[in-house]
Structure formats: structure tokens, C-alpha cells
A = this chain, B = another copy of it.
Amino acid sequence: MSKEKSQKIPEVTIRRLSAYHRCLVRAREEGMKVISSSTLAKNCGVNAAQVRKDLAYFGKFGIRGMGYYVDGLFTDIKRILGIDRVWNMALFGAGNLGTALLFYKDFLKQNYHMVAAFDIDPEKLQKGAIGGVPIYHPDKLPEITHREKIDIAIIATPVSKAQGVADQVVQAGIRGILNFAPTRLSVPDNVVVKDVFFTNILDNLVYLLTASR
């Protein structure tokens, strides 16, 4: 049973849903058939009422007195998040980080497919592919985007190139960007950007170490 209520869903709820999903993968591997909100909460380090509240935004998934069917909840959360299908991704910038991402195995496990890489380095273009992913010159972006049905761009270029690439990506009709270049990208309202800034995360870690608790 699921009625997606039209209501503002907090961003943190979505992040936690993703964490619950990860826990459920584990629970399935361990052969659990049913899980309670309190067990799920403990495994994810959150409050049990919060688990139930988060799920309540999207419907009723449990059985009173019993808990949640692991398989059922797993499927429902996938559907809620939109990860019950394949998402095609293209990498921009096949440097060290980019290359590592081309080889990254966890993407595939979760239905995230890396279908193309773009770089301007003639040597890399010469190779044709890295980690089994074909490399193209950015000139080919519009063509490849269409042919490979690219949904998401991963930007791993130097900062100096990132905004330009973002502009081209948006121009080609891609609406999702995962940005590793440590700079804020400006994009139209209908495009979604998620930043992964390693040094900001380290700053956060260091603050907690310095404030020492």
C-alpha cells in the first residue's frame, strides 16, 4: 500500500531512506525476513520513531505487532528513491579521480551504469576506453548523450574546466550532476547538482577533532 502524499519531504529523510536501503541489503544477505523499526533504527544509528515517520511520508509499509517484511520494504524504498531502474552516467575528466570512478565497482551493484567518459587528452582518446568505458572527445557529447541515454554527468575535471563542462552538459539535456570539482556550479533551476568536496568533509572532521569530543 503506498500513496505518495504531496507534501514537502525533508532532504534528510531522503538521505536516511538511502541508509535504510543499505541496511536492508545487509538484512537480506543475512536471510532476515522481517525487521522492526527499532532494529532498523539501531543498525542505522537513528531513532525508531524517526524511521516510522520517514516511511509515513510515503505510505504504510509495516504490520502492527510484527514489523516490516524485509523484501517488501527493500522494494518499496527502491521505488520511492527512484533506484528501481538503471541510471546511465557519463564521466567528465578522466584524471586520477575520474579513472578511479571508471573502475568503481559499487556503482554497478546499485544499477548505476557508467556508459561513457569524456576527456580532451589525445593519449587517453587514443586508448579508446578505460576500465571498459569508452572515451570520447567532448565534441561528441550531444550525440553520445542521445545514443547512450545519459541521465547523470559526473564532473571530475579541474576547477578551471568545471563550469564550462557543466554548461555543455546542461546544453546536451542532462539534468543531474554529481560534482567532484571543488567549486559551486551555476545551472538552471531544473538541473540538480550534488557536490562531493573532499576537503570540506575533512574540514568538518578536523573541527570535531579540534573541538575534541
Which A residues fall within an 8 A CB radius of B? 9, 11, 14-15, 17-19, 21-22, 43-45, 80-83, 87, 96-97, 99-101, 103-104, 106-107, 110, 112, 151-152, 175-178, 182, 184, 190, 192, 194, 196-211, 213
How close is A89's CB to chain B, nearest CB, in angstroms? 8
Tell me how many chains of this kind the complex includes: 2
Residues of chain B lying within 8 A (CB to CB) of residue A81: 203, 206-207, 210
Whether the Cβ atoms of B96 and A200 lie closer than 8 Å is no
Whether the Cβ atoms of B207 and A82 lie closer than 8 Å is yes
Kindly identify which residue among B14, B83, B107, B200 contacts A15, using a CB–CB cutoff of 8 Å: B200
Kindly identify which residue among B14, B196, B213 contacts A207, using a CB–CB cutoff of 8 Å: B14
Chain B residue nearest in CB terms to A131: B96
- Kindly state the separation between the CA atoms of A104 and B210 in the bound complex, as whole angstroms: 24
- Kindly state the separation between the CA atoms of A182 and B100 in the bound complex, as whole angstroms: 16
A-B contact pairs, 27 of them (CB 8 A): A11-B204, A14-B203, A14-B204, A18-B204, A19-B200, A21-B203, A22-B182, A22-B200, A43-B184, A82-B206, A83-B206, A96-B103, A106-B198, A107-B199, A112-B199, A151-B209, A152-B202, A152-B206, A152-B209, A176-B208, A178-B201, A178-B202, A178-B205, A194-B201, A194-B202, A194-B204, A196-B198
